[in-house]
């Protein structure tokens, strides 16, 4: 697996592998983003970005078939929410019930993901959990999917899935 970072100034890739006490960098690369193709976390020219990404992946010799990408921007919502403890199978439906409080756009036109971060017990004994909610309009996500599909057509090695990952700073 490798990571891709789409920036308005440059596109970066990094390939690592797991070792006993962490990770080791296998390869990385940077290429200038096509002018005007990416701005404020949005891809405006998927074809130009895909061509640049395919060139970068080829130059770096990355042959993995899975990629992790981070999608940023003003339209991406990331919120930590507290819920009563529930089963994982109930989690998404529970969050979807509460999502309109946190997501300022149409949920039917959005991609939403959740991940349980932590379980805890309140002072009064109630079992609770922290959940990370991530949402973005499909119109923000689709250009990234177009980039990955086109670069896959060019390199035969990219795949993406939308996910949320909790990272404490």
Confidence of residue 54 (pLDDT cuts 50, 70, 90): very high
CB-based burial label for 62 (10 Å; 0-12, 13-18, 19+): buried
- Residue 63's pLDDT is 85
Q: Which of 32, 37, 39 is nearest to 74 (CA)?
A: 39
Confidence of residue 67 (pLDDT cuts 50, 70, 90): confident
Q: Which of 51, 6, 1, 58 is nearest to 26 (CA)?
A: 1
**Can you give the pTM of this predicted structure?**
0.74
The 10s digit of each residue's pLDDT in 113-159 is 899 999 999 999 999 999 999 999 999 889 998 998 888 755 443 33
Confidence of residue 166 (pLDDT cuts 50, 70, 90): very low
Q: How far apart are CA 52 and CA 169, in angstroms?
A: 31
> How do the domains of the chain map onto residue ranges?
2-72+138-155, 77-137
- Residue 168's pLDDT is 30
DSSP state, residue 144: H
Give the containing element (helix H, strand E) for 54. Answer: helix 46-60
Task: Report the percent of the chain where pLDDT is more than 90.
Answer: 56
Question: If you average pLDDT over residues 161-166, what whole number do you get?
Answer: 38
CATH number attached to the domain at 77-137: 3.30.1490.300
Cβ atoms of 146 and 38 closer than 8 Å:
no
Cβ atoms of 128 and 121 closer than 8 Å:
yes
Provide the mean pLDDT of the chain.
86
DSSP state, residue 61: T
The CATH topology of domain 2-72+138-155 is Nucleotidyltransferase; domain 5 (3.30.420)
């Amino acid at each position: 697996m490798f990571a891709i970072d789409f920036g308005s100034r440059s596109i970066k890739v990094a390939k690592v592998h797991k070792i006993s006490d962490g990770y080791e960098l296998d390869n990385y690369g940077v290429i200038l983003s096509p002018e005007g193709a990416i701005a404020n976390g949005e891809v405006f020219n998927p074809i130009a970005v895909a061509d640049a990404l395919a060139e970068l992946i080829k130059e770096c010799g990355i042959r993995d078939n899975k990629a992790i990408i981070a999608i940023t921007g003003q339209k991406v919502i990331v919120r930590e929410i507290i819920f009563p403890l529930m089963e994982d199978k109930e989690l998404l439906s529970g969050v979807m019930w509460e999502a309109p409080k946190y997501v300022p756009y149409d949920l039917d036109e959005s991609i939403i993901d959740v991940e349980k971060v932590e379980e805890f017990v309140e002072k009064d004994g109630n079992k609770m959990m922290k959940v990370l909610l991530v949402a973005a309009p499909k119109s923000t996500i689709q250009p990234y999917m177009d980039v990955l599909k086109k670069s896959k057509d060019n390199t035969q090695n990219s795949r993406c899935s939308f996910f949320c990952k909790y990272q404490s700073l």
